[in-house]
Amino acid sequence: MRACTKLISSTHPTLHFAHPTLESFIWNTLIRAHFQAGSRAELLTHTPLNVFLRMRFHRVKPDFHTFPFLLQSFNSPPHFQSGKQIHAQALLYGLANDPFVQTSLINMYSTCGNLMLARQVFDEISQPDLPSWNSIVNANVKVGLIDVARKVFDEMPERNVISWSCMINGYVSCGEYKEALALFREMQMVEANGVRPNEFTMSSVLSACGRLGALEHGKWIHAYIGKCGMEVGVVLGTSLIEMYAKCGIIERAKWVFDNMGPHNKDVMSWSAMISGLAMYGHAEECLELFTEMTSYGVRPNAVTFLGVLCACVHGGLVSEGKEYFRRMSEEFGITPLIQHYGCMVDLFGRAGLIQEARNLVNSMPMDPDVPVWGALLSGSRMHGDIETCEIALRKLIELDPTNSGAFVLLSNVYAKMGRWADVRHVRDLMEARGIKKVPGCSLVEVGGVLHEFFVGDDSHPETKEIYKMLDEIMKRLKMEGYVGNTNEVLLDLDEEGRELALSLHSEKLAIAFCFLKTSPGTPIRIVKNLRICSDCHVAIKVMSRVFDREIVVRDCNRFHHFKGGLCSCKEYW
């Protein structure tokens, strides 16, 4: 108890004499102090729960102020059992009807993944106030029930910035980026009612722009931030870096990064810039930045190393990658996560060091997951190591029987070797198991409007013109000596049919659309959900030369910057 008073008098120097509620005040303050310290460092040996139990041991009655911080302490890491116990305690002391306690309960239950109990608490509130509504919206978001969240959101009697931010962020976190942007537009329409977006909102919206590759939208948001006089702090700065990097304007990302000043950047800002450069294949610059970061005394974390290793992968820097992987744990004390092992397997695989990749997979301390086997598969596929391919495939099917990617890759290997019977077999297997290929999809923004194209898509209003344009482009390419590389087509078609299937790839449709809609010389930016295939890669290279266009394609892996018949990546030839 002496320690308590000492701690409190250091933060509240005026508290020197007794007060009727002083005792519970001291305990409550102590709970808060432990909660706040716990999230920063493990300096204190006790947890808020621990303090609460001692409080009860001393027969001090908790009051309204006791529970909120106590409940919050079970959010990270989530601790359902303790949370439930404390809920029972709040009921016991007749404090569970307090709106502050109820909101904390909703949050606690939802972060512990128990939506039912969160909902129960909410339903028992006769007149929920704004924070309770926001909490229940967010509770649905957290468990991924975005439609339910939206329904609750629409039912709310009133909404504030937080409600809107929660909902927009919800859409972003479940991958519905276009919905997020739509909701943001809706939000601006009610802006007249006094709801104005803040830093939180902008960060989510920027993230949506980045994922979509919607540069025009992103630029607009950037301008809007300036217009509102919003300060570009660490968080917004980092979001902007990420947005520009993901939209393919690495120079702009660097510009934002440099303008943040060396002392306003945290690990995340550095990491965002590092992974941005990595995605772009600028390996040397990326590694330099890492060195610069450490020279400013910013400690890299696991995410930073993910970016660094990723740079080594795209730059084909095997020995550097090995060195960073070693330093990561030895010098910085960071235990490699499964993603880091995935990077290393990818690094070895691409370099053709299949045996080394296999050794790593077999010796890693955790069970290899889908991305790890996937990296081994694509590496061995790249170098025609059928045996390793088959091993990886078997594991992939074991882990995720609905994963179409593995089947597609393996069938591509067979196709490359002309083993059409095996291709057929894989395809039958997929059919028998009801596995659908994830359809290729390309996104492009023209004049601030997003257009989406699927493989062989004919749903676009201007589909006729698009196909006509595509036809012309392909004719011109053929005149230039381009021959469709049909090795990667899954279907067992004759040569002409296969070539046709290739020409319908979504990125080609998107490019045809851009040729139709943009003036000559305008750079074309496309975002693709899958990896770009080698045929498209060749075709786009030729296009960039013949039509003198800069074409930037972001696939699920990295950027491909086509210019004058060349690509920035070293993955295809």
Residue numbers of the site for DNA (CB under 7 A)? 12, 14-17, 19, 21-22, 24-25, 28-29, 32, 63-65, 67-69, 72, 95, 98-104, 107, 129-132, 134-135, 138, 160-163, 165-166, 169, 173, 198-204, 207, 234-236, 238-239, 242, 266-269, 271-272, 275, 301, 303-304
Shortest approach of DNA to residue 101 CB, angstroms?
A: 5
- Which residue's CB is nearer to DNA, number 131 or number 368? 131
* CA dihedral of 340, 341, 346, 348, whole degrees rounded to 10: 120
- Which residue's CB is nearer to DNA, number 52 or number 515? 52
CA distance 547 to 564: 9
- Which residue's CB is nearer to DNA, number 131 or number 440? 131
- Cα distances (Å, whole numbers) of residue 168 to 176, 207, 478: 9, 11, 46
Shortest approach of DNA to residue 448 CB, angstroms?
A: 23
Specify which residues 559 forms β-bridges with. 554
- Which residue's CB is nearer to DNA, number 271 or number 411? 271
Specify which residues 553 forms β-bridges with. 526, 560
Shortest approach of DNA to residue 203 CB, angstroms?
A: 2
- Cα distances (Å, whole numbers) of residue 333 to 109, 300, 301, 327, 342: 34, 10, 9, 8, 19
Asked if residue 341 lies in contact with residue 329, where contact means CB atoms within 8 angstroms, the answer is no
Q: Which amino acid is at 424?
A: R
Sheet containing 449-454: order of strands: 449-454, 441-446, 524-528, 551-554, 559-563, 566-567
CA distance 358 to 274: 28
Shortest approach of DNA to residue 380 CB, angstroms?
A: 26
Asked if residue 62 lies in contact with residue 93, where contact means CB atoms within 8 angstroms, the answer is yes
Shortest approach of DNA to residue 436 CB, angstroms?
A: 27
Shortest approach of DNA to residue 408 CB, angstroms?
A: 25
257 token code pair: 């990064």
- Which residue's CB is nearer to DNA, number 196 or number 416? 196
Shortest approach of DNA to residue 443 CB, angstroms?
A: 17
- Which residue's CB is nearer to DNA, number 93 or number 420? 93
- Cα distances (Å, whole numbers) of residue 556 to 16, 443, 530, 539: 62, 12, 5, 19
For residue 325, which of 314, 456, 342 has the smallest C-alpha distance? 342
Q: Where are the alpha helices (DSSP H) in 369-527?
A: 370-382, 386-399, 404-416, 420-432, 463-479, 495-503, 506-517
- Which residue's CB is nearer to DNA, number 199 or number 356? 199
Half-sphere exposure of 303 (CA within 13 A, CB side): 11
- Secondary structure (3-state) at 42: coil
Shortest approach of DNA to residue 331 CB, angstroms?
A: 18
- Which residue's CB is nearer to DNA, number 110 or number 503? 110
Shortest approach of DNA to residue 165 CB, angstroms?
A: 3
Shortest approach of DNA to residue 140 CB, angstroms?
A: 12
Shortest approach of DNA to residue 111 CB, angstroms?
A: 8
CA distance 204 to 305: 24
Shortest approach of DNA to residue 73 CB, angstroms?
A: 11
- Which residue's CB is nearer to DNA, number 21 or number 355? 21
Asked if residue 397 lies in contact with residue 419, where contact means CB atoms within 8 angstroms, the answer is no
According to the 3-state scheme, what is the secondary structure of 53-94? HHHHHCCCCCCCCCHHHHHHCCCCCCCHHHHHHHHHHHHHCC
Half-sphere exposure of 200 (CA within 13 A, CB side): 12
**What phi and psi values does residue 451 have, to the nearest 5 degrees?**
-120, 140
Length of the chain: 573
**Which uninterrupted H or E stretch holds 340?**
helix 338-351
Q: Which amino acid is at 261?
A: G
Cβ atoms within 10 Å, residue 517: 18
